[in-house]
Amino acid sequence: MGFRPIGYICNMAVLFATNVMMYNERKLHEHVQRIIMNPILLVGMQDILSAEFLFAPIVHGDHWWCYCVKLKSMEFFVFDSLGHSRKNRTRIENYIKPSFEVQCVDTPIQPNGRDCGVLVLKFIEMWDGVSKFDGKAWLTTLLRSYN
């Protein structure tokens, strides 16, 4: 697993990439606006309290998707490149729904069974509360640069 050609992206690769994203954001802006939850979280409580977004990448059954909370308004979003009514998300969303509405972001659908990890990383990198995903043109360009 890992970053091998035409293979799945492993959880350690996603964890590493998300920590690099937060490190680079701190270097550029002197604080982290996008906190990405993972077991080796490299941010402090002050970073979490001042962040704009909190991301939680999830992997289940070899598929990656991501939840996002806009902290100021407590809006919940989900990014899933396999569609907007996936059965595997039901347990998590049923837990969240009594208190919050989970908004499914209109994301491109992945063309194969292996690009979900890269797409989750790109969704995290690009998300600012407004959808920027303009369908297949965006996805084709992105995947061509990785394949």
Domain ranges of the chain: 11-146
Mean pLDDT, rounded, for 20-40: 76
**pLDDT at residue 73 tops 50:** yes
Q: What is the pLDDT of residues 98-107, one digit of tens each?
A: 778 888 888 8
Chain centroid to Cα 38, Å, comes to 12
Write down the pLDDT at residue 17: 80
Write down the pLDDT at residue 116: 85
Mean pLDDT, rounded, for 69-97: 81
Chain centroid to Cα 99, Å, comes to 22
pTM above 0.75, yes or no: no
d(CA 22, CA 61): 26
Mean pLDDT, rounded, for 45-52: 77
Looking at domain 11-146, its CATH class is alpha beta
